[in-house]
């Protein structure tokens, strides 16, 4: 498997293991995912009110849960800002 394929696999399996195979992440599952997996690059990941706020922003269909697609928009957003902050300082990261 290539680096990129392994990265995609991680994105998918992180969601699946946090949702325990269900289609959506509930409040608890989402808080756990954010605090465990995104604590290094996002702020306030241990604050349940901040994470709840984030969840509300992602929850496009307002069902109180985070679907796989809604999770992917978070990943996309975080990856974009990460890329922008990296390119600002050193374009030759690799």
Partner 1 sequence: MPSELEGAMESLIKVFHRYASKDGVLCRRELRELMENELSNFLRSQKDPAAVDKIMKDLDTNGDGKVDFEEFVSLVVGLSIACEQCYQIHLKKTGKK
Binding region for partner 1 (CB under 8 A): 1-12, 14-16, 21, 33, 36-41, 68-69, 72-73, 75-76, 78-80, 82-83, 86-87, 91-94
Q: End-to-end alpha-carbon separation of the chain, Å?
A: 19
Minimal distance in Å, beta carbon 90 to partner 1?
10
Residues near 42 by Cβ (< 8 Å), separated by ≥ 6? 34, 78
Report the residue number, 16 or 64, with the smaller CB distance to partner 1. 16
Minimal distance in Å, beta carbon 51 to partner 1?
15
Would the CA dihedral through 54, 57, 61, 63 be positive or negative?
A: positive
Minimal distance in Å, beta carbon 53 to partner 1?
20
Report the residue number, 37 or 48, with the smaller CB distance to partner 1. 37
Neighbouring CB atoms inside 10 A of 39's CB total: 12
């Amino acid at each position: 498997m290539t680096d990129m394929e392994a990265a995609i696999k991680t994105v998918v399996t992180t969601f699946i293991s946090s949702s325990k195979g269900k289609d959506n992440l509930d409040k608890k599952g989402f808080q756990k995912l954010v605090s465990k997996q995104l604590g290094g690059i996002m702020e306030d990941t241990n604050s349940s009110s901040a994470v709840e706020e984030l969840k509300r922003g992602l929850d496009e269909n307002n069902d109180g849960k985070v679907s796989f697609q809604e999770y992917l928009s978070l990943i996309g957003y975080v990856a974009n800002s990460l890329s922008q902050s990296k390119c600002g300082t050193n374009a030759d990261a690799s």
